[in-house]
């Protein structure tokens, strides 16, 4: 039998397919079903900075005997209950998932600015999470804020959280940094043991009939994997953190590509939201078949086989190949 097992953030996983943070990992029943479908681990949906701020505003108001001391701040977060659950139910979900499953449970914090992340990370650790994924999601809009400042802030958040907990921390990065390898190195030096590439941003559209901005959240397409494969292939031999790929993983062959590029795990959300949770077992079966057809005994045998340092033509990942390609089109 082909051995699919791997390690990720020092945790032992029976295979490299991880259910990434999504509405599917928000409900206890689905978490059980994801384990039955065979995933190696799950990342719970995120606890959002806005939820935590709103919670502390409510607490403050309660202490202030109900006076709405921050009315503007409260109306700033009107839609919170639609996605998230507050910190208490979140911690209970971690406990319940740990009690009734045997796969690693990775919690997720979604931050935008330095704050009390260390405290929440500690609560998450105490609730039994095996690891924490930190998703730092900011949209810099101020022309006076430099890229170095954005990166320093990221590093500060990562350092605070990593110093506060003993469980391993992975950082979910955006693809929009000027130098992905530098940022990966910086967060690793700040204490992260894993880098999750990449965050997918919701893209607002413009409605030309209503002349308004419309929020859009679309599921991913398999093409999105290519960006991740390139960067996993480039950074995996250069930094010591484990790489997780998230974005565009839809089939068993995509898991194989992630591992070939040097990732430890392949994460999936859209394909399960689209095809149902049982699609995870289909993907795993396809991955197993691929390894068998290649005559391989374990998934580990192919890890990093097509990383930039391992391939015969490392320039395939760089600009030189681009020039060659467009001139031959």
Ligand X SMILES: Cc1cc2nc3c(=O)[nH]c(=O)nc-3n(C[C@H](O)[C@H](O)[C@H](O)COP(=O)(O)O)c2cc1C
Cα distance between the two ends of the chain: 44
Rank residues 203 and 327 by Cβ distance to ligand X and give the closer one: 203
CB of 305 to ligand X, least distance (A): 23
Q: Does 251 bind ligand X (CB under 6 A)?
A: no
Rank residues 139 and 144 by Cβ distance to ligand X and give the closer one: 139
Number of C-beta neighbours around residue 139 at 10 A: 8
Rank residues 164 and 173 by Cβ distance to ligand X and give the closer one: 173
Among 6, 15, 30, 108, which residue sits at the site for ligand X (rule: CB under 6 A)? 108
Query: Which pair of tokens denotes residue 221?
Result: 């397409």
Would you say how long the chain is, in residues? 329
CB of 199 to ligand X, least distance (A): 6
Q: What is the spatial distance between Cα 240 and Cα 9, in angstroms, rounded to a whole number?
A: 11
Neighbouring residues of 66: CB distance < 8 A, sequence distance ≥ 6 = none
> Would strands 11-13 and 6-8 be described as parallel, antiparallel, or unpaired?
antiparallel
Q: Map residues 140-179 to x or -, x wherever contact with ligand X holds by CB under 6 A.
A: --------------------------------x-------
Which range, of 122-130, 147-155, 156-164, 215-223, touches ligand X by CB under 6 A? 215-223
Among 110, 186, 188, 307, which residue sits at the site for ligand X (rule: CB under 6 A)? 110
Query: Which pair of tokens denotes residue 204?
Result: 């607002």
DSSP 20: P
The gap from C-alpha 162 to its chain's centroid, in whole angstroms, comes to 17
Q: Does 81 bind ligand X (CB under 6 A)?
A: no
Query: Which pair of tokens denotes residue 218?
Result: 């679309």
Residues lying near ligand X in the complex (CB under 6 A): 20-23, 45-46, 108, 110, 135, 172, 200, 217, 219-220, 224, 246-249, 268-271
């Amino acid at each position: 039998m082909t051995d699919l097992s791997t390690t990720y953030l020092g945790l032992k996983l029976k295979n490299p397919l991880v259910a990434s943070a999504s509405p599917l990992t928000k409900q206890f029943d689905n978490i059980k079903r994801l384990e039955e479908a065979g995933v190696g681990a799950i990342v719970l949906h995120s606890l959002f900075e806005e939820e935590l701020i709103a919670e502390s505003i409510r607490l403050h108001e309660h202490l202030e005997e109900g006076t709405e001391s921050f009315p503007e701040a409260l109306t700033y977060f009107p839609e919170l209950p639609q996605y998230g659950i507050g910190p208490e139910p979140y911690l209970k979900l971690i406990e319940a998932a740990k009690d009734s499953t045997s796969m690693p449970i990775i919690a997720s914090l979604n931050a935008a600015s330095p704050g009390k992340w260390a405290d929440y990370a500690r609560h998450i650790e105490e609730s039994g999470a095996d690891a924490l994924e930190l998703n730092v999601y900011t949209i810099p809009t101020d022309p006076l804020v430099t890229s170095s400042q954005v990166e320093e802030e990221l590093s500060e958040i990562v350092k605070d959280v990593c110093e506060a907990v003993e469980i391993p921390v992975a950082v979910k990065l955006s693809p929009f940094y000027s130098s992905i390898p530098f940022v990966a190195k910086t967060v690793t030096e700040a204490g992260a043991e894993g880098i999750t590439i990449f965050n997918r941003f919701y893209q607002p559209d413009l409605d030309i009939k209503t002349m308004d901005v419309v929020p859009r959240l679309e599921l991913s397409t398999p093409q999105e994997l290519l960006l991740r494969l390139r960067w996993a292939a480039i950074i995996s031999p250069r930094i010591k953190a484990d790489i997780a790929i998230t974005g565009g993983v839809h089939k068993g062959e995509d898991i194989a590509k992630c591992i070939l590029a040097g990732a430890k795990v392949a994460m999936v959300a859209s394909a399960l939201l689209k095809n149902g949770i049982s699609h995870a077992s289909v993907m795993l079966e396809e991955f197993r078949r691929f390894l068998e057809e290649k005559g391989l005994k374990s998934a580990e045998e192919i890890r990093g086989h097509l990383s930039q340092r391992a391939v015969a033509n490392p320039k395939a990942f760089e600009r030189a190949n681009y020039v060659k390609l467009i001139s031959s089109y």
